[in-house]
Amino acid sequence: MTDISSAGTFTLGDRAVNRMGYGAMQLAGPGVFGPPKDHDAALAVLREAVASGVNHIDTSDFYGPHVTNELIREALHPYADELVIVTKVGARRGTDKSWIHALARPELTEAVHDNLRNLGVDTLDVVNLRIGGVTKPSEGSIEAPLTVLAELRQQGLIRQLGLSNVTPQQLAEATRIADVVCIQNMYNVAQRDDDRFIDDLSSRGIAYVPFFPLGGFTPLQSAALDAAAASLNATSMQVALAWLLQRAPNILLIPGTSSVTHLRENLAAATLQLPPDTIVGLDLIAGSGKRALNQDDSIQEKEGAQPVQS
């Protein structure tokens, strides 16, 4: 079993968690809707993650809906003291599997109570307020929904608050209302819109938890990733995760999988060290190379074109 502690820890609010965590979304049925294709296999993934040292699990009651939270409760309740379960609210599912904003006061209140009930807890460790679209943030005030969650926190139903799919401007607005312990936006070796945001959050001690670390519904494909993997006797997915771990100390990983085999592979990335020249090559995937090379940006962008899907 991999020793995931070698990837280090980061403080999420008031509790240190291993930087290698697990995202539960893939445990629901196709399209993140309905029950898993193999119920026992889903429980096995969760139990193996925690047995391997994972103490940060990302979920939401709108995965299924309710399915992943019910699986987490069945597999892991009563929870170990050190386990931090991060959930999110702000959306609901249509019968056609669509993702619909649910940011009104009654919807947020109901979502928090649904999460409490389905996870079987009196207080939710961390609740992310999900704003924006499915993959990208969009500007606009978040004062009204965040105020609702801040009130629920005051009532003792939530320990810590985070934000998902937000911009730096929205974080600035949020911090006037409540402390924010984590940001969950889309980011991976090929999708680096948040480079500056991550560095700012790092300097402020706020965790950054990238969703789609492996590309999500369209897994990452890149010649540069494959080459790095071959040179390190690793897999491309492991390299993608190791790159994130080395990108910034406040990045916490929540790769999603429904497979114990993939879980083991992903956790093993905690021990994978990428040499500096490998990181230089990987930084070119997104067409920037700015951070690692610190040279003329326009040259990097021309040289950075790599075949990537994400």
Ligand X SMILES: NC(=O)c1ccc[n+]([C@@H]2O[C@H](COP(=O)([O-])OP(=O)(O)OC[C@H]3O[C@@H](n4cnc5c(N)ncnc54)[C@H](OP(=O)(O)O)[C@@H]3O)[C@@H](O)[C@H]2O)c1
Residues designated catalytic: 63
Q: Is 137 in the site for ligand X (CB under 6 A)?
A: no
Query: Looking at the chain, how many residues does it have?
Result: 310
Beta carbon of residue 131, minimum distance to ligand X (angstroms, whole number): 9
Please select the residue that binds ligand X; options are 71, 212, 250, 274, rule is CB under 6 A: 212
Stretches 143-151, 226-234, 255-263, 281-289: which one binds ligand X (CB under 6 A)?
255-263
CA 125 to chain CA centroid, Å, is 15
Answer yes or no: are the C-beta atoms of 213 and 240 closer than 8 Å: yes
Q: Is 184 in the site for ligand X (CB under 6 A)?
A: yes
Element (H, E) at 154: helix 143-154
Tell me what percent of the chain is helix, strand and coil, each rounded to the nearest 5.
Answer: 40, 20, 40
Beta carbon of residue 302, minimum distance to ligand X (angstroms, whole number): 28
Q: Is the dihedral of CA 144, 146, 151, 155 positive or negative?
A: positive
Beta carbon of residue 158, minimum distance to ligand X (angstroms, whole number): 17
* DSSP-assigned letter for residue 220: -
Q: Is 23 in the site for ligand X (CB under 6 A)?
A: yes
Q: Is 162 in the site for ligand X (CB under 6 A)?
A: no
* DSSP-assigned letter for residue 269: G
Q: Is 55 in the site for ligand X (CB under 6 A)?
A: no
Tell me if the bond preceding 78 is cis, omega within 30° of 0.
Answer: yes
Answer yes or no: are the C-beta atoms of 29 and 81 closer than 8 Å: no
Could you give the dihedral angle defined by the CA atoms of residues 131, 133, 135 and 141, in that order, rounded to the nearest 10 degrees? -40
Beta carbon of residue 294, minimum distance to ligand X (angstroms, whole number): 28
Token pair for 159: 């320990």
Q: Is 289 in the site for ligand X (CB under 6 A)?
A: no
Q: Is 225 in the site for ligand X (CB under 6 A)?
A: no
Stretches 103-111, 210-218, 242-250, 294-302: which one binds ligand X (CB under 6 A)?
210-218
Answer yes or no: are the C-beta atoms of 211 and 254 closer than 8 Å: yes
Beta carbon of residue 72, minimum distance to ligand X (angstroms, whole number): 11
Please select the residue that binds ligand X; options are 145, 215, 289, 304, rule is CB under 6 A: 215
Q: Is 69 in the site for ligand X (CB under 6 A)?
A: no
Q: Is 126 in the site for ligand X (CB under 6 A)?
A: no
Beta carbon of residue 308, minimum distance to ligand X (angstroms, whole number): 14
Q: Bin 34: left if φ > 0, else alpha if -120 < ψ < 50, else beta.
A: left
Please select the residue that binds ligand X; options are 87, 258, 278, 300, rule is CB under 6 A: 258
Q: Is 222 in the site for ligand X (CB under 6 A)?
A: no
Tell me the angle at which helices 143-154 and 105-119 cross, rounded to the nearest 10 degrees. Answer: 40
Q: Is 256 in the site for ligand X (CB under 6 A)?
A: yes
Q: Is 213 in the site for ligand X (CB under 6 A)?
A: yes
Q: Based on CB atoms, which residue is closest to ligand X, 58 or 194?
A: 58
| Nearest by Cα to 162 from 13, 10, 20 | 13
Q: Is 111 in the site for ligand X (CB under 6 A)?
A: no
Burial of 86 (0-12, 13-18, 19+ CB in 10 A): buried
Q: Which residues bind ligand X (CB under 6 A)?
A: 23-26, 58, 88, 130, 164-165, 184, 211-216, 219, 237, 254-259, 262, 265-266
